[in-house]
Amino acid sequence: MSNEGKKVKAHYRGTLDDGTQFDCSYDRNEPIEFTCMAGQMIPGFDAAVKDMAVGEKKTVKIPAADAYGEYNPQAVQEVPVSQVPNADQLPVGQTVYFQGPMGPFPAKVVSVDSEKCVFDMNHELAGKDLTFEIELVEVAE
């Protein structure tokens, strides 16, 4: 029985190849709720939940292409310091937010010097294969 188009609730634990946990709904004591196969989740997670039954648990390895995408070097941008307000105060290594036509979007500050600021706009998990332990807790018809 397919869960496609149905509202589902699932608990999950997400880890990287080295075992580092990057997210866990159990830690928040609240499952994630989404409409299955509606594009609200990364494609690999959606596909994993699509044919699960309530109470079922599974572990899936999702390649980067079906997660947050491959790392895109073109998403690393240099911006002249003259175009960045308070450039000297940017926190190198941290994420800042820019206003775009679709709303705010994150960018990691890679470096700042006297001439340019370098920003990485890839998702922090881009280029990484992910492993999810998933437990389907509810399906609404």
Mean pLDDT (the chain, rounded) = 95
Per-residue pLDDT tens digits for 84-128: 888 989 999 999 998 888 889 899 999 999 999 999 999 999 999
Residue 50 banded pLDDT, cuts 50, 70, 90: very high
Instruction: Please state which of the four CATH numbers 3.40.50.720, 1.10.1240.10, 1.10.10.10, 3.10.50.40 is assigned to the domain occupying 6-69+125-139.
Output: 3.10.50.40
Report pTM. Answer: 0.84
Closest to 98 in 3D by CA, of 108, 89, 88: 108
Residue boundaries of the structural domains of the chain: 6-69+125-139, 73-120
- Residue 65: the pLDDT is 96
For residue 3, pLDDT beyond 90: yes
